[in-house]
Amino acid sequence: MQLQQVLYTQGFGTRRVCAGLVEQGHVAIGGRTCDDPGEDVRPDGLVLTVQGRDWPVHERAYVMLHKPAGHECSAKPSAWPSVYTLLPAPLRQRPVRGGQDGVQCVGRLDQDTTGLLLLSDDGAFLHRMASPRKHVPKVYEVVTRHPVDEAALQRLRDGVVLEDDPKPVRAAACEATGSHALRLTLTEGKYHQVKRMVAAVGNRVEALHRSRIGGLSLPADLAPGQWRWLGPSELDLLKPAA
Ligand code: URA
């Protein structure tokens, strides 16, 4: 594939901009500055250096972000900065055939929720991860205003009715983790689901953090606001149980 085309697929701008990056000496491979935008390169495993920063080439982007509080999971946020501002421009710009350009969030977290957020430009992956039928469990760490008691935990496991649907929603698992803290596992993703379920049992969410999706936990070394690529073994952890 031509070098300028690889740059284009990775989100470094229009084909003309990508050619310009090479011609102006901003692109290197293995320490060698490239000067021919038409140079034939193999994208598999290729690491480009663009304007001094290494960029491993990925045909599809799968990333995790440690979402900090005070950010909206929307490209057009209403009151808070967008989580997309935490990602480098190529991830936001990479061209997507038949879809909106750039990576998209897998579901949404509220502005004040922190923790594990996945983003991708792979439409099938986005669909699979968001589908309630696939039952990918999501684990939330909740700090509550009032003390947590066993009766409330049991009600959350048995199912509570939210105002927009007569069908009860239940926690796949629920345990106390402190006097005012609980861990809740959900396999669906309704709007404000954790907050509404906790409210339905007479308590209130004071802080909410997503610690795990499927078998993938938020790594302890990924600080709030940081992102990183998901590797094949991490993607395997996201596959629903057979
Ligand atoms: N449930 C909520 O109420 N908010 C979130 O951000 C995620 C799950």
pLDDT in the model for residue 135: 81
Mean pLDDT of 98-125: 94
pLDDT, tens digit (0-9, with 9 covering 90-100), for 210-242: 999 999 999 999 999 999 999 999 999 998 765
pLDDT in the model for residue 155: 98
Question: Percent of the chain having pLDDT more than 70?
Answer: 99
CATH of 3-56, one of 3.30.450.40, 3.40.50.2300, 3.20.20.70, 3.10.290.10: 3.10.290.10
| Domain ranges (residues) in the chain | 3-56, 62-133+216-236, 137-213
Between 58 and 132, name the one with better pLDDT: 58
* Residue 199: closest CA among 155, 133, 135, 139: 155
pLDDT in the model for residue 132: 72
| Ligand 1: nearest atom to the Cα of 189 | 8
pLDDT in the model for residue 113: 98
pTM (two decimals): 0.95
- Tell me whether domains 3-56 and 62-133+216-236 share a fold: no
Using the mean position of ligand 1's atoms as its centre, give its distance from the Cα of residue 184 in Å.
11
Domain 137-213 sits in CATH at 3.30.70.1560
Q: Is the pLDDT of residue 186 over 90?
A: yes
- Ligand 1: residue whose CA is nearest its atom 4: 192
Q: What DSSP state is assigned to residue 232? A: H
* Residue 67: closest CA among 116, 25, 34: 116
Mean pLDDT of 85-112: 94
pLDDT in the model for residue 90: 97
Q: Is the pLDDT of residue 199 over 80?
A: yes
Between 131 and 85, name the one with better pLDDT: 85
Q: Is the pLDDT of residue 9 over 90?
A: yes
The Cα–Cα gap between 100 and 234 comes to 25
Whether 110 is catalytic: yes
Using the mean position of ligand 1's atoms as its centre, give its distance from the Cα of residue 35 in Å.
49
pLDDT in the model for residue 241: 66
Structure tokens at 216: 């993938």
Find the helix packing angle between 193-200 and 150-158, rounded to 10°: 120
SS (H, E, C) 95-130: CCCCCCCCCEECCCCCCCCEEEEEEECCHHHHHHHH
pLDDT in the model for residue 99: 79
Q: Is the pLDDT of residue 66 over 90?
A: yes
DSSP lists the bridge partners of residue 181 as 143, 178
CATH class of 62-133+216-236: alpha beta
Mean pLDDT of 48-53: 97
Does the beta carbon of 4 sit less than 6 angstroms from any atom of ligand 1? Answer: no
